[in-house]
């Protein structure tokens, strides 16, 4: 774990102006323009990034294509890719303190969580896919004796990666690592408010021996660089995590350009369902509070709809309130803070808009609801709980992506399933019960990519993550994710 001494030494490091990373080196944006990076910790500027344009995306795609055609990565022995990716993971671990603090200055996540979820998780993901590199086999088809049917697995070509600001390294690695392991070349478009760690990641990849052009990073505004990547005629696939509206655009871009594949990991409004026979109500309350409030609720799988069985409702709400008020919101670079800053002033305003609307629609505010620690200049929000929320309220229908929880009560299993599935989303969920049969029935009944039982939010790289319904399609993580970045080619040979 990172120490407070290390954090204090790194938190004032001069960052300066960061360029793009194209063809193995830092480079200026074609326009020469830049974007100021403001830290949500204190609302102050501390760096700048290049404001890329469509011309920069084009340079990066050309570099990636050139590297792909050259073959020093795409056609290299898998054992070579494994070696380089393993060195890459080692270097990320070596620089974990630096990357974690840099990321927190950029997006405000509490350091305890960021340290594990960002550099360490990214290194683990890269190592996982590095190890898979030389274990992917082609197939021989069961044909008649007069022919030989071979199924080759080949990289797609150039893959575009577009990620959000909540966990840019972790989510970036979920896409970059399998794409590279499969032999593709990659162009990353980081989120405009949290680009710094992905730029540093590209430098470390280069230091690890990744050939020039195999991994490029173009910063800038989503509507400019993201759109240019989505519309590019020489990109074979886009792997995206972010909001539903931008996901829809990417599908349109694909249709308007070269029919590139698009994989979408979108938002959620995940139900967390507490039955009266939950093994330990107090523990369920503590984990549920963390499941919505960690990283200020800016977690795609956050359990933002809490459903509690009526017979234990009052008891559970007491436990939940006490668990919530114990959470310390504060400087994300202080190891004693449980919750850091909201990622930006704009996001905080958006959250407060949801609070105002929930109150206006008749929900009852149990705790929180306001901006706090204003004297810091940063963007901090108190963990917020509303009860008496109903199905027609905005708070139940729309993703806040902030520390705001809506609570409903239910009488029986049937009602719990109906409420849980009454959403356009289907990313995550949880069920708390001591009854094995109830747990298994709920796992089958809930429409979501993941159902947690007697926990919230745990997972590792070995299991897939992704949604159903309007939470998107395609899966990150696990060996299944590798398949997204490989194409099948048939050889039909007459003997």
Helix (H) or strand (E) holding 245, with range, is helix 244-256
Please list every residue from 178 through 197 that binds ligand NAD, using CB under 6 A: 189, 191-192
Per DSSP, the three-state class of 269 is: coil
Nearer to ligand NAD, 423 or 433 (CB): 423
For the bound state, the minimum distance from the C-beta of residue 142 to ligand NAD, rounded and expressed in Å, comes to: 37
Task: Tell me how many residues contact ligand NAD (CB under 6 A).
Answer: 28
Q: Could you tell me the two tokens for 138?
A: 């082609």
For the bound state, the minimum distance from the C-beta of residue 177 to ligand NAD, rounded and expressed in Å, comes to: 15
Taking CB under 6 A as the rule, does residue 51 contact ligand NAD?
A: no
Going by the DSSP 8-state scheme, the letter that residue 17 receives in this structure is E
For the bound state, the minimum distance from the C-beta of residue 264 to ligand NAD, rounded and expressed in Å, comes to: 8
Specify the pairing of strand 237-241 against strand 261-265. Answer: parallel
The DSSP code sequence of 426-459 is -S--EEE-S-HHHHHHHHHHS-SS--EESSSS--
Q: What angle do helix axes 196-207 and 78-94 make, rounded to 10 degrees? A: 130
Active site residue 185: no
Answer for which of 208, 266, 281, 333 binds ligand NAD (CB under 6 A) is 266
Which x/- pattern over 431-470 shows residues binding ligand NAD (rule: CB under 6 A)? ------------------------------------x---
For the bound state, the minimum distance from the C-beta of residue 238 to ligand NAD, rounded and expressed in Å, comes to: 8
CA-to-CA distance for 184 and 14, rounded, in angstroms? 34
Nearer to ligand NAD, 56 or 319 (CB): 56
For the bound state, the minimum distance from the C-beta of residue 88 to ligand NAD, rounded and expressed in Å, comes to: 22
Those residues with Cβ within 8 angstroms of residue 376's Cβ, 6 or more apart along the chain or in another chain:
41, 42, 43, 331
Region of 454 on the Ramachandran plot (φ > 0 left; ψ -120 to 50 alpha; else beta): left
Taking CB under 6 A as the rule, does residue 222 contact ligand NAD?
A: yes
Answer for which of 56, 265, 331, 413 binds ligand NAD (CB under 6 A) is 265
Taking CB under 6 A as the rule, does residue 223 contact ligand NAD?
A: yes
Nearer to ligand NAD, 170 or 281 (CB): 170
Answer for which of 19, 52, 112, 164 binds ligand NAD (CB under 6 A) is 164
The DSSP code sequence of 44-74 is -EEEEEE---HHHHHHHHHHHHHHHHH-TTT
Active site residue 265: yes
CA-to-CA distance for 257 and 92, rounded, in angstroms? 36
Region of 282 on the Ramachandran plot (φ > 0 left; ψ -120 to 50 alpha; else beta): alpha
Q: Which residues are catalytic?
A: 265, 300
Residues that bind ligand NAD (CB under 6 A): 162-166, 171, 189, 191-192, 222-223, 226-227, 230, 241-243, 246, 249, 265-268, 300, 399, 401, 427, 467
């Amino acid at each position: 774990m990172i120490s407070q001494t290390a954090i204090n030494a790194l938190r004032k490091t001069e960052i300066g102006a960061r360029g793009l990373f194209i063809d193995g080196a830092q480079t200026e944006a074609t326009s020469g323009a830049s974007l100021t990076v403001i830290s949500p910790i204190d609302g102050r500027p501390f760096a700048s990034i290049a404001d890329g344009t469509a011309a920069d995306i084009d340079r990066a795609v050309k570099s990636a294509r050139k590297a792909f055609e050259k073959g020093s990565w795409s056609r290299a022995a898998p054992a070579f890719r494994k070696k380089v990716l393993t060195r890459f993971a080692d270097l990320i671990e070596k620089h974990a303190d630096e990357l974690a603090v840099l990321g927190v200055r950029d997006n405000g996540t509490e350091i305890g969580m960021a340290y594990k979820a960002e550099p360490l998780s990214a290194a683990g993901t890269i190592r996982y896919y590095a190890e898979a590199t030389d274990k992917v086999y082609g197939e021989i088809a069961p044909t008649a004796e007069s022919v030989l049917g071979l199924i080759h697995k080949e990289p797609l070509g150039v893959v575009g990666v577009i990620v959000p600001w909540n966990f840019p390294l972790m989510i970036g690695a979920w896409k970059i690592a399998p794409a590279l392991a499969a032999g593709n070349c990659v162009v990353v478009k980081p989120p405009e408010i949290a680009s710094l760690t992905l730029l540093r990641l590209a430098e470390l990849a280069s230091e690890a021996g990744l050939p020039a052009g195999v991994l490029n990073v173009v910063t800038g505004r989503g509507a400019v660089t993201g759109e240019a990547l989505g519309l590019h005629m020489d990109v074979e696939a886009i792997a995206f995590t972010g909001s539903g509206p931008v996901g829809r655009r990417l599908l349109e871009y694909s249709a308007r350009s070269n029919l590139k594949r698009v994989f979408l990991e979108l938002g959620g409004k995940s139900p967390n369902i507490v039955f009266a026979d939950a093994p330990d109500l107090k523990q369920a309350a503590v984990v549920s509070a963390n499941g919505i409030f960690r990283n200020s609720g800016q977690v795609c799988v956050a359990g933002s709809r809490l459903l509690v069985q009526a017979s234990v409702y009052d008891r559970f709400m007491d436990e939940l309130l006490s668990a919530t008020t114990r959470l310390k919101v504060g400087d994300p670079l202080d190891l004693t803070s449980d919750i850091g800053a909201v990622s930006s002033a704009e996001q905080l305003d958006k959250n407060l808009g949801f609070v105002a609307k929930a109150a206006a629609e008749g929900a009852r505010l149990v705790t929180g609801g306001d901006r706090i620690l204003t004297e810091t200049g940063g963007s901090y929000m108190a963990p917020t709980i509303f009860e008496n929320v109903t199905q027609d309220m905005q708070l139940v229908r729309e993703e806040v992506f902030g520390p705001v929880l809506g609570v409903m009560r239910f009488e029986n299993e049937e009602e719990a399933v109906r409420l849980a599935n009454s959403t356009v989303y289907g990313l995550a969920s949880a069920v708390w019960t001591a009854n094995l049969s109830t747990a298994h029935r709920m796992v089958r009944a809930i429409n979501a990519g993941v159902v947690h039982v007697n926990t919230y939010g745990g997972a590792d790289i070995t299991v897939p993550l992704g949604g159903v319904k309007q939470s998107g399609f395609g899966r990150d993580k696990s060996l299944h994710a590798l398949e997204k970045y490989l194409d099948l080619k048939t050889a039909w040979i007459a003997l």
